[in-house]
Structures are given as structure tokens and as C-alpha cells.
Amino acid sequence: METPGPFSFGRLTGPLPVALILRALVRVLLPSQATQTGGFELGRGLSVETVKPGELTPEEIGLWMAFIQADAGYASPYFHPAFTRVAGEVTPGAAVALIHQGGDIVGFFPHQRRGSRVQPIGAPLNDYHGVIARPGFAPVLQDLPALLGAASIAVNGWTGPGEGNKLVGRQTLQADLSQGWAAYDAERRDTWRKYFRDKDRARRSLERDHGALTVAFDGTDPASLTRLLTLKREQFNRSGRHDIFACGWTGDLLRALPQATEPGFGVRLAVLRAGGRPIAYEYGLYAGDQYHFWLPAYEAGTSRYSPGILLSLETMRLGAAEGFRLFDYGFEGEAYKKYACNREQTVLDGVVHAPGFANAIEAALAKVGAGPALTVGAALGQAPLSVSVRRRWAAIDACETTVTGRVRGVAAAVSTVVNRASAPRAGIGLLTLLNV
């Protein structure tokens, strides 16, 4: 069954199966549902109990801490129970799955629900995620939808085992300062001499034109955070990316995190000032000796001085003196990161469906004429534009919990795909958006 005639959208013209349109509308209009607490039995001696983050007992939090302390793979602040506790206070649909085996808790998975779909808690602001598991217990990503009773799970920084045709590897980049700042700085300058000489010149020019430079950590200053959020939203608007702060709760998360009091966990808002005037901001998370650069922004009029890079370097210099040994720059992509980073990590990005759910949907759509389009969409699922569109949908799905927000987000995404791509590439993007 197809539309009576061709559809037309910008530079795209051609038949579009009604089933694909209906599928997209269902996904757009299905808002998040309240997370149900409780438990159910599974095979292999496993059972899952789902609770709200605030319902975790001190004993359960202690066990969680024991798990992350026993495995360096959980050193990121995103795995700390404090991040989940705070995120649970402001994130719609927030929950923690307690995985039991033989009566013992063997894993924790903090997440959020959007209808029948599951995402890591705090998404799209959560850069690293996985099941925080007892040593020796490591459920693969493909097991999670069934474990959680979900139709699918979307991830962008999965650190555990997993495979599938809708998963791709992504690199995150780190600066290892385990030998201290002086050794790190000397090695980077020896490797990238011209780059760091350019940054030294930029620093001198900034001081000459605007005054002495200072760096302060204004983690609880509401004015600095408000300005950072304003700059990020302006950046999203210029780039055509989804504004992840338009929904409200994501900004509330950044405002709530500085109130965390758990030992060894916290946030900082680093601010670079020139002549007393703020010109660059960087919101970061830390746990133990790891510091995660999270949300950077700078005043557009100062871009020629590279203020964001200068702030990151100064944050590392000062942080190393406090005992931080690893500075995580997050996902690769921005050219400047390769000059600062000397380590990388591979994580998984994509969507995994519950087998029965995926098969049923594909069979139903095939009956109404959508099969060929779905086949093409799956075949193109790892094309660069396709991956980009899927990530954009994941951000919309995570942020927007109202019909209005979802419609607005998807309409903007479709417009961006059509306006910025050739007709064939735009077709790939639209198929991906409909087939996520």
C-alpha cells in the first residue's frame, strides 16, 4: 500500500510507503511513560527489579561503589552512583535496574524510559554507560531489551560487550597525565611543536588585547552557568543540531549536579577571564582521579584567540596539581582534541531491538509495502549521513517528552536533512529517521 501519488519535500520527490509515515508518527507522538517499579523473572537464574534512583538503599549504593572500585572500566564519573542519584531527581522516566542472580545483586543499570524504549540515564548528556556489574558478570548489550522488558535500547557510549548491524564503534579521546603535567606538556610540545607555539602566541595576544588571564572554578555560580547554556543553545541553532536544552530538564540536571556531596564526585564550571571579563566556559565532571570535559563554550568575538583550548590546557595544569590523572575529552571529531590527547577508547553507538519486537515490526511493515524501503534503510544504516540522522533522532527521543517537543524536533531534523544534502543523500537520511 502506497500513497496515491508521489510525495514532494524540497528536492525529494517519489513514492513513500504509508507504513513508514505511520511508523514515524507513532515514534514522534509517543511520549515517555512513567517507569514502573517492580520485578520479573528471567532465565539463567536472573531476575530484574526496577526502582527509582532515590529508592536505592545505603547497602545497594555501597555494593555499587564496590563494583566500580573493582574495575577500572567504571572510573568515569558517569558510572558513579552520585551521577545517577542527581539525574534521577530531574530526568523524566529515570530508573535503575537491579539485576539479581541467585538472590544476589550482580549488576546495576541506570536508565530512562521513553515509551517502550530505553536509554542510559541522563541521555543525551551521558557519554559513557553500561551495566555496573560484579566482577565476572557482563551481560551483552543485546540482552538488555529482554532484561528490561523494552522494545529497544539506544546507546552512544556503551563500554560493555555488544554487536549488531545497527551498532558502530566510536572513539573517545583522553589526555593521560599519570606522569604529571610537566612530563605531559613536554611530550605534547615535542610531538606538536607548531600547534603549541601557535597557542602560546594566541595566549600572549589575548593578554595584550584584553588583559591578564585568570581561571576560576565557578561551579555554583548561576550566572556563569546561565551564560554557558545560552552560548551552547546559540551554537546548536547555528549548526542546525537539535537544541538539547530547549526541553528544560537537561539544564536542570546541570544546575542540580553541583549540589552533590558524595565524596570523590563533583562538577566544576571552569571560567577563563581576560582582564576580568569571562570569555570561555567549560562544565566538567570528576570522580576519583578522572576529570571529564563535558560542555565547552566561548564568546564568539574571541574565537581567534582559541580561548576554549587555552581554558582546557589551564584546567589540566591546575587539575594535575590537585591529583587528577586522566582528562577525558569525550568523542573524537573536533580537530583540536588530537593535539591534547594521547589515549583513546572505543565505545559502541547505535540501537538494539528486542528480537521478537524487531521481527514483528518488520513483518508487519513488509505486508503493507514498506519492506523494500526498510531493507534499503538497513543497508545504508552505517552510512555517515545515516549515522548522523540516527544520532539526532536519539537526542530528540531522549530530550523531548511532550508531543509538541517531538514534533518540533523531528520537523527541524527533516528540514536539516533535506536542505543540507543532495537528493540521494537526503533520501538516505529520511529512511534512517523513519527506520531507527
Pairing of the two strands 104-114 and 132-133: antiparallel
Pairing of the two strands 38-41 and 46-51: antiparallel
Give residue-wise pLDDT tens across range 202-245.
999 999 999 999 999 976 789 999 999 999 999 999 988 899 99
Phi and psi dihedrals of 113, rounded to 5?
-110, 140
Q: How confident is the model at residue 418 (pLDDT cuts 50, 70, 90)?
A: low
Task: Give the torsion through C-alpha atoms of 396, 254, 308, 313, to 10 deg.
Answer: -130
Domains and CATH numbers, the chain: 7-30+354-435 (no CATH), 38-163 (3.40.630), 173-345 (3.40.630.30)
Give one DSSP letter per residue of 135-163, joined into a string.
TT----GGGHHHHHT-SEEEEEEE-S---
Average pLDDT over the chain reads: 84
- Cβ burial of 156 (10 Å; 0-12, 13-18, 19+) is buried
Give residue-wise pLDDT tens across range 301-355.
999 999 999 999 999 999 999 999 999 999 999 999 999 999 999 999 999 999 8
Give residue-wise pLDDT tens across range 253-305.
999 999 999 999 999 999 999 999 999 999 999 999 999 999 999 999 999 99
Per DSSP, helices labelled H in 70-176 are: 81-90, 144-148
Q: How confident is the model at residue 420 (pLDDT cuts 50, 70, 90)?
A: low
* E strand residue ranges, 197-275: 213-217, 265-274
Task: Please report the pLDDT score of residue 279 as a whole number.
Answer: 97
Give residue-wise pLDDT tens across range 55-85.
999 999 999 999 999 999 999 999 999 999 9
How far apart are the two ends of the chain, measured CA to CA in Å?
21
Query: What does the chain come to in residues?
Result: 436
Of the candidate ranges 4-13, 157-166, 241-250, the one whose mean pLDDT is the lowest? 4-13
Instruction: Give me the residues paired with residue 285 across strands.
Output: 267, 292
Of the candidate ranges 106-115, 151-160, 255-264, 407-416, the one whose mean pLDDT is the lowest? 407-416
- Specify whether the CB–CB gap between 126 and 157 falls below 8 A: yes
Question: Residue 398: pLDDT above 80?
Answer: yes
Give one DSSP letter per residue of 345-383, joined into a string.
EEEEEEEEE-HHHHHHHHHHHHHTT-HHHHHHHHHTTTS
Give residue-wise pLDDT tens across range 89-139.
999 999 999 999 988 999 999 999 999 999 999 999 999 999 999 999 988
Instruction: Give me the residues paired with residue 167 across strands.
Output: 350
Q: What is the residue type of 254?
A: L
Q: How confident is the model at residue 165 (pLDDT cuts 50, 70, 90)?
A: confident
